[in-house]
C-alpha cells in the first residue's frame, strides 16, 4: 500500500495515472499525453500561417513527465476549491468602473507592443486578460503582411508577452466560458503555436467546461478551432461539439452561430446531423441577411452537404440582391456551387448579368476568375463573354500569359460563338501568345495550341514552334507520363488531320504523333436505337460505330442520296450519324455543345457524316409517340440538313446534373 504525505502528492500520483485530457460525458481521448518543455525561435518566412514564439516562451508536446506542469495544475485545482465552480455568474468580477477604466487604457493602442507597454502602467485585472489578447489581435488586423510580421516579432520579443501568457495559463481555470473562447481565438490569430502551454491549457479547460458554454461562446470556439490544425485534441473537441449539438440545435436562435457550428462539424460528420443543422437553418430563412445567404453556401460546402431546399432559398435571395455583394463573396458562392455540385440557372444568370452590366468596374483578373468558375460550372455567360471579347480586341496587350491561357480555355471549352469578331479576336490573342514565346514552357505552348485547335484556328508561328522535332519529342515523352498531356496531343493530332488547315510549306508534312488514349467505355442508348430501327428499318441502321478510335456513334443510318443519279458513287450515299449526348455534354441550361461534343460533331462532318444530335435528357422525358416524332424530325427534317443539329431553346429546369470538364 502506497503512503502519501499530503493530498497534493496523492493528486499528483492520480494525474500521472490518468489521461491529462480526461473528458466529461462529451469528451474522451485515446492516448495518455505527457509533456516536456522546449523552446523555438521566430519564423520569418513570408506567408507562413503560424508565427512561432521565441525561446523564452515554452510549450509542451508529447514526451516525458513534467512535474512543473502537474504542480501548477494541482495548485490551480486546490485554489478552485475555495471558489464556486461554473461559469461567469459564479466567478468573481471586477467593479464596472474599474473595467471601463482598463478598457479606456488599452483601446487607443495601435499595435501589440503598445498594449504590452500599457500593461506595465495599468496591469490587466484577472477577468480581462482575454480583452488584452483580443485588443492585440484587433490592432494588427488591418496591417499589411510585412507590417504584421514585424509587429508580431516585436510582440514575441517583448518581455511582458511571456508574462501575459503565464497569467493566461494560470488563470485559465478561473475564466468565464466567453473569456476562454475569446482568449483562445485571439491567441491563435496572433500566430502562437498550438503546441504552446497557453494554448494547450486553454484547450484542456475548454474540454472540461464545454457543457457550460452558452450559444455565443460556442460560436466563437467553433470559429477558432475551424482554422486550427487537426490534432488529436482538436479532433476530440470537434467530436464533443458534435455530441453537444445534438441537443443544442433546437435552442440556437442566431443564424451566425448556426453557421459557425455547421462549419466546424466538418465533412466527416454523420449525415443525419448535417441534415438536422440544414433543416434548422431552413427554418430560420426569414432571418437571413444578404451576408448570411452567402455564408450559408460556404457552411454547406464545409459540411459537403448539397441540401437543395436551403440552397434554392439562398440562391433566390442572392439573385435578388446581387448588387450588394462584392467580388470575393460572389466568387465564393460560385466556387461553393462547384464543390457542392449544385446548379441554379437563375443564380448564375443574375451574377453574369450583374457583372456584364457593371463591366467597366471589373479588372481583367476579376472577369477571368468569374469566367473560369463559370466554365467549371459548365455555364456559358454569353453577354459577359461578348463584352470581354470586345475588351480583348481593344486592349489585348494588357493580358498576361496566364490570362491568355485562361481566356483560350474558357472560350474553347464553352465553345463560345464569336460571330463576326472571330478572326480579329483569335488574331489578337495569338499575337499576345507569341509575345510570351521567350518564357513560355513546352506544356503551356501545347495547352494554348490545343485550345486554338478546338476553336478551329491554327496559327503558323505557334505550330512551327510546337512541332519542332526536339520540342515534340519531349512532349511525347511527357504524354507517356501524363494523361492530360496525352489527351491534348491526341486532340491536336485529330484537329490537324481532320480539319485540314492551310499550313505553311515547312509544316506540310505533319509527323505522326502516335498518340493513343484509351477510349471511354460507351454503350449504345438502346431506347434511341430501338426507336430509330422502328421507323427506319433494321437493315439501314448500324449501331456502335467507332471512328478514328475516338468518336463513338450510337447508330449510323445509310440512305441513298435523293439528288444523285449515279447510285454507285460514294456521293450517292447518305450516312446519318445519330449521336446521343448526356446533359454533361452541354452548357448548363441549354443544348449548346461544349468542347468535346462540338469538336466531335465538326470532325464527323469532315468524315462525311451528317451528325444528328439527340439530347438524352430531353428524349427520355417524353412519351413514346413524342420520342418517335422527335427523332423523325431530327433525322428526316422537312429540309435537307447539312449542318450540325444544334437546339437553341433552353432546357426545362434541370439543376442537379454534374458536368465534368472536357478532357481535351
Tens of pLDDT along 610-664? 999 999 999 998 999 999 999 999 998 864 433 333 433 333 333 443 444 444 5
Per-residue pLDDT at 539 = 87
**What whole-number distance in Å separates Cα of residue 198 and Cα of residue 191?**
12
Tell me if 63 sits within 8 A of 35, measured CB to CB: yes
Q: Is the pLDDT at 70 greater than 70, yes or no?
A: no
Per-residue pLDDT at 270 = 87
**What whole-number distance in Å separates Cα of residue 251 and Cα of residue 572?**
77
Tell me if 57 sits within 8 A of 49, measured CB to CB: no
The whole-number average pLDDT for the span 354-371 is 95
Kindly report which listed range (57-71, 204-218, 383-397) carries the lowest average pLDDT score: 57-71
**What whole-number distance in Å separates Cα of residue 410 and Cα of residue 405?**
9
Categorize the per-residue pLDDT at 68 as very low, low, confident or very high, splitting at 50, 70 and 90.
Answer: very low
Decide: residue 627, CB within 10 A, 0-12 exposed, 13-18 middle, 19+ buried. Answer: buried
Residue 53 falls in which region: left (phi positive, over 0), alpha (psi -120 to 50) or beta: beta
Q: Is the pLDDT at 92 greater than 80, yes or no?
A: no
Q: What are the DSSP calls for 349-393, one per residue?
A: HHHHHHHHHTGGGS-HHHHHHHHHHHHHTT---HHHHHHHHHHHH
Q: Is the pLDDT at 52 greater than 90, yes or no?
A: no
Helix crossing, 483-498 with 469-481: angle to 10°?
A: 130
Kindly report which listed range (111-125, 434-448, 598-612) carries the lowest average pLDDT score: 111-125
Residue-wise pLDDT for 495-543, tens only, equals: 988 988 887 777 655 566 666 666 667 788 899 999 999 888 888 899 9
Q: Is the pLDDT at 430 greater than 90, yes or no?
A: yes
Categorize the per-residue pLDDT at 332 as very low, low, confident or very high, splitting at 50, 70 and 90.
Answer: very high
What SS3 class is residue 574?
A: strand
Which of 88, 120, 118 has its CA nearest to residue 103?
118
Residue-wise pLDDT for 301-318, tens only, equals: 999 999 999 999 999 999
Per-residue pLDDT at 303 = 92
Per-residue pLDDT at 374 = 97
Distance of CA 226 to the CA centre of its chain: 16
The whole-number average pLDDT for the span 585-589 is 93
The whole-number average pLDDT for the span 443-447 is 93
205 CB-near residues (< 8 Å, 6+ apart): 172, 173, 175, 180
Per-residue pLDDT at 640 = 42
Residue-wise pLDDT for 139-185, tens only, equals: 888 888 889 899 899 999 888 898 888 889 988 888 888 889 999 99
Place of cell 506567408: 47
Q: Is the pLDDT at 352 greater than 90, yes or no?
A: yes
Q: Dig out the grid coordinates for 115 from the structure.
A: 498594449
Mean residue pLDDT across the chain:
79
Which of 470, 469, 472 has its CA nearest to residue 449?
472
Per-residue pLDDT at 580 = 93
Per-residue pLDDT at 571 = 65
Per-residue pLDDT at 103 = 64
Decide: residue 661, CB within 10 A, 0-12 exposed, 13-18 middle, 19+ buried. Answer: middle
The whole-number average pLDDT for the span 400-429 is 95
Residue-wise pLDDT for 13-47, tens only, equals: 443 333 333 333 333 333 333 333 333 333 333 33
Q: 258: part of which helix (H) or strand (E)?
A: helix 255-265
**What whole-number distance in Å separates Cα of residue 557 and Cα of residue 561?**
12
Place of cell 465538326: 602
Residue-wise pLDDT for 263-304, tens only, equals: 888 888 889 999 999 999 999 999 999 999 999 999 999 999
Tell me the percentage of the chain whose pLDDT exceeds 70: 75
Residue-wise pLDDT for 109-135, tens only, equals: 788 888 888 877 766 666 678 888 888
303 CB-near residues (< 8 Å, 6+ apart): 262, 263, 265, 266, 267, 269, 274, 277, 278
First to last CA, the chain: 77
What Cα–Cα distance (Å) separates residue 270 from each residue in 200, 215, 452?
28, 22, 46
Residue-wise pLDDT for 208-244, tens only, equals: 888 888 888 888 888 888 878 878 888 888 888 888 8
Per-residue pLDDT at 46 = 32
Indicate the DSSP class of residue 643: S
Amino acid at each position: 500500500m502506497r503512503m502519501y504525505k499530503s493530498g497534493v502528492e496523492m493528486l499528483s500520483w492520480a494525474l500521472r495515472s490518468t489521461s491529462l485530457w480526461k473528458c466529461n460525458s462529451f469528451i474522451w481521448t485515446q492516448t495518455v499525453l505527457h509533456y516536456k518543455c522546449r523552446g523555438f525561435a521566430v519564423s520569418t518566412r513570408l506567408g507562413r500561417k503560424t508565427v512561432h514564439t521565441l525561446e523564452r516562451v515554452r510549450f509542451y508536446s508529447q514526451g516525458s513527465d513534467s512535474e512543473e506542469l502537474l504542480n501548477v495544475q494541482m495548485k490551480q485545482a486546490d485554489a478552485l476549491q475555495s471558489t464556486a465552480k461554473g461559469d461567469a455568474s459564479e466567478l468573481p468580477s471586477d467593479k464596472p468602473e474599474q473595467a471601463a477604466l482598463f478598457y479606456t487604457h488599452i483601446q487607443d493602442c495601435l499595435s501589440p507592443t503598445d498594449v504590452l507597454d500599457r500593461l506595465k502602467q495599468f496591469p490587466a485585472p484577472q477577468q480581462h486578460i482575454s480583452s488584452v489578447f483580443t485588443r492585440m489581435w484587433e490592432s494588427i488586423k488591418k496591417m499589411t503582411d510585412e507590417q504584421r510580421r514585424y509587429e508580431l516579432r516585436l510582440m514575441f520579443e517583448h518581455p511582458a508577452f511571456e508574462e501575459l501568457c503565464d497569467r493566461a495559463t494560470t488563470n485559465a481555470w478561473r475564466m468565464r466560458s466567453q473569456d476562454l473562447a475569446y482568449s483562445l481565438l485571439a491567441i491563435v490569430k496572433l500566430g502562437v503555436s498550438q503546441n504552446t502551454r497557453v494554448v494547450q491549457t486553454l484547450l484542456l479547460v475548454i474540454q472540461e467546461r464545454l457543457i457550460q458554454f452558452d450559444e455565443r461562446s460556442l460560436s466563437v470556439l467553433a470559429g477558432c478551432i475551424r482554422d486550427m490544425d487537426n490534432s488529436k485534441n482538436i479532433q476530440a473537441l470537434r467530436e464533443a461539439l458534435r455530441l453537444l449539438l445534438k441537443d443544442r440545435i433546437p435552442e440556437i436562435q442566431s443564424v451566425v452561430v448556426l453557421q459557425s457550428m455547421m462549419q466546424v462539424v466538418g465533412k466527416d460528420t454523420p449525415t443525419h446531423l448535417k441534415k438536422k443543422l440544414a433543416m434548422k437553418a431552413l427554418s430560420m430563412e426569414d432571418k437571413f441577411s444578404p451576408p448570411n445567404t452567402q455564408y450559408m453556401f460556404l457552411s454547406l460546402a464545409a459540411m459537403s452537404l448539397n441540401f437543395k431546399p436551403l440552397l434554392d432559398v439562398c440562391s433566390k435571395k442572392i439573385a435578388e440582391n446581387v448588387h450588394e455583394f462584392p467580388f470575393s463573396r460572389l466568387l465564393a458562392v460560385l466556387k461553393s456551387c462547384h464543390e457542392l455540385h449544385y446548379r441554379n440557372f437563375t443564380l448564375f444568370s443574375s451574377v453574369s448579368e450583374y457583372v456584364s452590366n457593371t463591366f467597366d468596374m471589373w479588372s481583367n483578373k476579376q472577369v477571368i476568375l468569374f469566367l473560369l468558375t463559370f466554365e467549371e460550372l459548365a455555364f456559358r455567360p454569353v453577354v459577359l463573354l461578348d463584352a470581354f471579347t470586345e475588351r480583348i480586341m481593344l486592349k489585348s496587350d494588357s493580358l498576361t500569359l496566364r490570362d491568355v491561357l485562361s481566356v483560350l480555355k474558357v472560350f474553347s471549352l464553352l465553345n463560345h460563338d464569336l460571330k463576326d469578331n472571330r478572326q480579329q479576336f483569335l488574331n489578337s490573342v495569338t499575337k499576345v501568345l507569341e509575345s510570351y514565346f521567350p518564357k513560355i514552357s513546352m506544356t503551356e505552348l501545347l495547352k494554348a495550341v490545343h485550345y486554338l485547335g478546338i476553336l478551329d484556328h491554327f496559327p503558323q508561328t505557334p505550330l512551327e514552334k510546337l512541332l519542332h522535332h526536339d520540342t515534340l519529342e519531349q512532349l511525347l515523352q511527357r504524354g507517356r507520363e501524363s494523361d492530360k498531356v496525352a489527351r491534348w496531343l491526341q486532340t491536336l493530332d485529330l484537329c490537324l488531320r481532320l480539319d485540314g488547315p492551310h499550313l505553311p510549306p515547312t509544316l506540310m508534312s505533319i509527323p505522326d504523333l502516335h498518340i493513343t488514349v484509351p477510349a471511354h467505355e460507351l454503350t449504345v442508348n438502346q431506347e434511341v436505337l430501338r426507336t430509330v430501327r422502328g421507323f427506319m428499318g433494321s437493315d439501314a441502321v448500324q449501331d456502335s460505330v467507332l471512328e478514328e478510335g475516338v468518336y463513338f456513334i450510337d447508330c449510323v443510318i445509310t440512305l441513298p442520296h435523293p439528288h444523285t443519279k449515279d447510285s454507285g458513287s460514294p456521293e450517292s450515299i447518305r450516312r446519318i450519324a445519330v449521336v446521343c449526348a448526356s446533359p454533361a455534354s452541354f452548357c448548363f441550361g441549354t443544348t449548346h455543345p461544349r468542347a468535346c461534343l462540338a469538336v466531335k460533331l465538326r470532325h464527323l462532318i469532315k468524315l462525311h457524316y451528317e451528325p444528328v444530335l439527340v439530347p438524352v435528357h430531353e428524349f427520355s422525358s417524353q412519351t413514346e409517340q413524342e420520342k418517335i416524332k422527335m427523332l423523325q424530325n431530327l433525322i428526316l427534317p422537312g429540309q435537307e440538313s447539312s449542318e450540325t443539329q444544334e437546339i437553341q431553346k433552353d432546357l426545362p429546369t434541370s439543376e442537379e446534373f454534374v458536368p465534368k470538364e472536357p478532357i481535351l
